[in-house]
Amino acid sequence: MIDNEDDAWLEGLAGRLEPAQIESAFSRQLVFEGAALREFIRRQPPPAAPEIPVSDVARELEVIARARREGLLPPAADRAHARPRLRRVSLAAAAVLILAVGASIWHTSVPPQEALRGVSGGTVLLEARDPAALRRELTEELHAAGVTVSGYERLGRFGIDADLPRPLPPQIAKILERHHIPAPADGALEIEIEARVPP
């Protein structure tokens, strides 16, 4: 049921009423006008997509120059001073990269300070560039972990004897692992270190 003229016109515009459904001639006319406007709107072509402007390099350069004149952009001379700074930073970064790669290559080409040769009769045989220094290092590390160590030298080999606690504490296990020494099953650690023969 239509209560007023505005409702009649809006119902026609919405397409919910046809003029033939209305008894009052005046309301019928309003529904007809609303329906006619609706049909007119539906027949309109969709708006065209806006055209994308073609890039104009000369215009862009002109806008940049104007922005510099107005003080919105720094003068071109400031950018020229920035280039040498950028080059210096680039060269410094390249130098650091070259040093890092060089150090990595050198580190991998230098033989390790010590190497496990094997285990013979329960004695771990190590080879080192400086056997006395390696024995001192092992003795200090094991002492710091609470192990009593006795050292000896026999036939050009430097040796260590120690009784390790069982089960093996993680701190001592890390020391042995760092020096590539297998943990003894019975807790009796015997190590002999000889000088590495250069190739």
Task: Kindly report, residue by residue over 162-191, the tens digit of the pLDDT.
Answer: 888 888 889 989 988 888 888 888 888 898
Segment 117-140, tens digit of pLDDT? 667 777 888 888 888 888 899 899
Which pLDDT score, from 0 to 100, does residue 115 have?
A: 64
Q: Taken in order 8, 14, 19, 21, is the CA torsion positive or negative?
A: negative
Q: Report yes or no: 190 and 160 within 8 Å, Cβ to Cβ.
A: yes
The beta-carbon contacts of 149-158 under 8 Å, at least 24 apart in sequence, are 154/192, 156/194, 156/195, 157/131, 157/192, 157/193, 157/194, 158/131, 158/132, 158/134, 158/192, 158/193, 158/194
Q: Is residue 21 assigned to a domain?
A: yes
Q: Is residue 14 assigned to a domain?
A: yes
CA distance linking residue 188 with residue 168, whole number of Å = 11
Q: Is residue 76 assigned to a domain?
A: no
Does this model's pTM top 0.75? My answer is no
Segment 1-44, tens digit of pLDDT? 566 777 878 888 888 877 677 777 777 888 888 888 888 888 88
Which pLDDT score, from 0 to 100, does residue 171 have?
A: 92
Q: Is residue 162 assigned to a domain?
A: yes
Q: Is residue 176 assigned to a domain?
A: yes
Segment 60-119, tens digit of pLDDT? 888 888 888 888 887 765 555 556 666 777 778 888 888 887 777 755 554 446 666 667
Which pLDDT score, from 0 to 100, does residue 113 have?
A: 61
Q: Is residue 191 assigned to a domain?
A: yes
CA distance linking residue 99 with residue 95, whole number of Å = 6
Average pLDDT over residues 136-147: 90
Give SS3 for 152: strand
Q: Based on the structure, what is the number of domains in the chain?
A: 2
Helix (H) or strand (E) run with residue 76 in it: helix 76-109
Range of the domain at 9: 5-42
Average pLDDT over residues 44-55: 74
Q: Is residue 161 assigned to a domain?
A: yes
Average pLDDT over residues 42-48: 82
48 pLDDT tier (thresholds 50, 70, 90): confident
Which pLDDT score, from 0 to 100, does residue 110 have?
A: 46
Q: Is residue 106 assigned to a domain?
A: no
Is 146's pLDDT higher than 80?
yes
